[in-house]
């Protein structure tokens, strides 16, 4: 260890000696020279060429291909009217296709209707009912076009109206409601809506008041007050200036009149002297021309005096007008100061929310009373569906494979077996991707056994997540294709769903090439090849695969131009 330290010291000494000798040989350099020689090299541009290509954003998921499993059907409960004998009054044929919303079988003159849903019928569905079974009923009615509402799982008047329309379209009368009951329901619902709107308005007013003014509003009010004070000061200064200018103008007019009076007196005296037979300048009798000249001077003096009087009168009027206008401007400016001060005081004063709280309590109590009254009424009256008149099947359409009872027979237990009529491709998409997809959207089915993707179409995209046995946060997806190869039946395949495209080639740059300016616009920096760059303002469009569509706003940008995506520094 010690020997190593000695050896290191010797080596360091030799290195120092060599360095000193080299410096002597090279000459001693200044610190500035050393700093200049140790500066890092200039950074170089990292560029990527602008391309012209078509961009497309896709949703990728997986789906299963297969048939529906056979299902045995039976009534879920009693029919409307509670018939004592379940006589089949109309029945389908084996091989018939059953679609959503259709009448599966007629028993004792009442329809047994079929809808798509995961939850089987387990109760009569009545007004005011809530739950997942009501929700899937509303979803089915919305799919069939009988309801325009957003399904919410609560049986309300819109749900009842959709049921009535559905039954009527099927050729039956729903289990109805009387006119008196209908009027009472309308009144109760109107009361609930009014109470809810009142409560919402009161809460909104309180929230708005509780927030108080923003810092920007206070700063604006303070600025307005300062500006008003400045305007008031300027108005007073301008008033003084206008008054002084008007007084000066009056003094000038008075002096001009005094001079006109003196000139008039002189001209009058000279004319009178000439009339007396003596020229005022020579003392000799004036000639006819001299008399005319002196008379003209006298008349001019009279006119000048008259004009001086008029000018003095007008100047005094102008003085009064200027004084009134200046005073009005000062009053207006002072009123602006008072208004700005009142606004600032209002913004900075404590907020009293007690009146809002009282109104909210009153509105809440009214809403609770109205809701209770409506719930009580809904529990007693309204359109309803007996549990025996509705069946939910997980998938539709289905094909009738077997009938255990014919028209005129007595229905007991299971009366029909159904299976899926076609191959179906089923999958799911996330909450994030579901809004991008709609019925009719084209998809591509991919699998290692295929030479080329199969083109399909989305036939079902569930509005609600976690239906049809898909996971949380997922939306059920069903796809239809013209033909499915036999080897794909029972397999899980990849599904590519194009959701956005530029529909043609566009200019595209890497996302890293885009930068924002202070005014919020977007630009790219283009390497001009001579060591300099230029900026081009662009509008960004679709982004996909790391590229972003750009449209030139100001400047020039072409395919092949090199845009800067970063800077590389030397070692």
Chain mean pLDDT for the chain:
86
Is pLDDT above 70 for 26? no
Total domains, the chain: 5
In three-state secondary structure terms, 192 is helix
Give me the CATH number covering residue 427: 2.40.30.170
pLDDT at residue 178, as a whole number: 64
Residue 65 lies in a domain: no
> Are 225 and 328 in the same domain?
yes
Is pLDDT above 60 for 11? no
pLDDT at residue 195, as a whole number: 92
Residue 375 lies in a domain: no
> Are 432 and 408 in the same domain?
no
Length of the chain: 571
The answer to whether the predicted template modeling score (pTM) of the entire model surpasses 0.75 is no
The rounded distance, in Å, linking the Cα atoms of 510 and 49 is: 9
454-511 pLDDT, tens per residue? 999 999 999 999 988 888 999 999 998 888 887 887 789 999 998 888 888 999 999 9
- In 104-149, which ranges are continuous DSSP H helix? 132-144
> Are 236 and 337 in the same domain?
yes
In three-state secondary structure terms, 542 is strand
Residue 139 lies in a domain: yes
> Are 33 and 104 in the same domain?
no
User: Could you tell me the sign of the dihedral formed by the alpha carbons of 229, 234, 239, 244, in that order?
Assistant: positive
Residue 274 lies in a domain: yes
The rounded distance, in Å, linking the Cα atoms of 419 and 396 is: 9
Per DSSP, 82 falls in state: -
Is pLDDT above 70 for 7? no
> Are 493 and 561 in the same domain?
no
| 495 Cβ contact partners less than 8 Å away, ≥ 6 residues apart | 60, 61, 62, 63, 425, 427, 443, 444, 445, 446, 456, 477, 479
Give me the CATH number covering residue 550: 2.40.420.20
User: Could you tell me the sign of the dihedral formed by the alpha carbons of 382, 388, 392, 397, in that order?
Assistant: negative
> Are 170 and 86 in the same domain?
yes
DSSP letters for 25-53: HH-PPPHHHHHHHTPPPPPEEEEEE-EEE
The rounded distance, in Å, linking the Cα atoms of 15 and 253 is: 102
Is pLDDT above 90 for 153? yes
Where in the sequence is the domain holding 518, given as residue range(s)?
A: 48-54+504-568
Give, in order, the Cα–Cα distances in Å from 133 to each of 77, 82, 122, 125, 349.
Answer: 15, 22, 9, 9, 54
pLDDT-derived band at 41 (thresholds 50, 70, 90) equals low
550-563 pLDDT, tens per residue? 999 999 999 999 99
Backbone angles phi, psi at 315, to 5 degrees: -65, -40
pLDDT at residue 213, as a whole number: 77
Is pLDDT above 90 for 350? no
pLDDT at residue 353, as a whole number: 81
In three-state secondary structure terms, 109 is coil
Give me the CATH number covering residue 260: 1.10.287
Residue 288 lies in a domain: yes
């Amino acid at each position: 260890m010690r020997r190593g330290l000695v050896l290191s010291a010797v080596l360091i000494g030799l290195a120092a000696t060599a360095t000193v000798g080299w410096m002597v040989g090279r000459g001693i350099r200044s610190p500035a020279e050393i700093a200049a020689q140790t500066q890092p090299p200039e950074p170089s541009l990292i560029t990527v060429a602008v391309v012209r290509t078509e961009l497309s954003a896709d949703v990728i998921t997986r789906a299963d291909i297969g048939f529906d499993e056979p299902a045995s059907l039976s009534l879920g409960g009693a029919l409307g009217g509670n018939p004592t004998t379940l006589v089949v009054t109309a029945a389908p044929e084996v091989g018939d296709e059953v679609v959503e919303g259709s009448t599966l079988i007629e028993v004792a003159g009442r329809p047994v209707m079929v809808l798509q849903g995961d939850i089987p019928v387990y109760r009569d569905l009545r007004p005011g009912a809530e739950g997942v079974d009501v929700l899937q009923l509303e979803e089915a009615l919305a799919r069939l076009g009988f309801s325009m509402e957003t399904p919410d799982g609560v049986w309300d008047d819109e749900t009842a109206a959709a049921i009535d329309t559905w039954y009527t379209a099927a050729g039956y009368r729903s289990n109805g409601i009387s006119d008196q009951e209908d009027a009472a329901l309308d009144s109760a619902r109107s009361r609930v809506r009014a109470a809810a709107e009142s409560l919402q308005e009161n809460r909104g007013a309180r929230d708005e008041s509780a927030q108080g003014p923003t810092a920007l509003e206070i700063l604006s009010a303070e600025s307005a007050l300062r500006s008003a004070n400045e305007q008031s000061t300027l108005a007073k200064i301008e008033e003084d200036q206008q008054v002084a200018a008007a007084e000066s103008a009056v003094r000038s007019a008075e002096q001009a009149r005094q001079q006109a009076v003196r000139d008039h007196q002189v001209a009058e005296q000279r004319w009178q002297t000439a009339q007396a037979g003596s020229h005022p300048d020579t003392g000799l009798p004036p000639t006819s021309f001299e008399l005319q000249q002196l008379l003209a001077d006298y008349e001019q003096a009279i006119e000048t005096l008259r004009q001086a009087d008029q000018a003095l009168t007008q100047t005094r009027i102008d003085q009064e007008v200027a004084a009134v206008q200046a005073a009005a401007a000062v009053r207006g400016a002072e009123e602006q100061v008072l208004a700005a001060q009142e606004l600032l005081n209002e913004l900075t004063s404590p907020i009293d929310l007690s009146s809002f709280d009282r109104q909210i309590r009153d509105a809440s109590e009214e809403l609770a009373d109205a809701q209770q009254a409506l719930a009580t009424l809904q529990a007693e009256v309204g359109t309803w569906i007996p549990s025996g008149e509705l069946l939910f099947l997980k998938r539709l359409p289905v094909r009738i494979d077997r009938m255990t009872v014919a028209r005129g027979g007595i229905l007991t237990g299971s009366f029909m077996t159904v299976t899926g009529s076609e191959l179906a491709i089923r999958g799911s998409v996330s909450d994030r991707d579901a809004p991008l997809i709609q019925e009719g959207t084209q998809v591509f089915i991919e699998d290692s056994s295929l030479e080329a993707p199969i083109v399909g179409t989305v036939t079902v995209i569930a509005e609600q997540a976690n239906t049809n046995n898909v996971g949380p946060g997922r939306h059920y997806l069903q796809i239809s294709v013209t033909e499915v190869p036999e080897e794909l039946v029972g397999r899980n395949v990849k599904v590519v769903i194009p959701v956005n495209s530029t529909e043609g080639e566009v200019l595209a740059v890497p996302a890293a090439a885009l930068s924002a300016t202070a005014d919020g616009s977007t630009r790219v920096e283009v390497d001009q090849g001579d060591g300099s760059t230029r900026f081009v303002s662009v509008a960004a469009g679709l982004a996909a695969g790391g590229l972003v569509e750009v449209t030139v706003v100001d400047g020039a940008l072409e395919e092949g131009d090199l845009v800067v995506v970063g800077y590389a520094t030397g070692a």
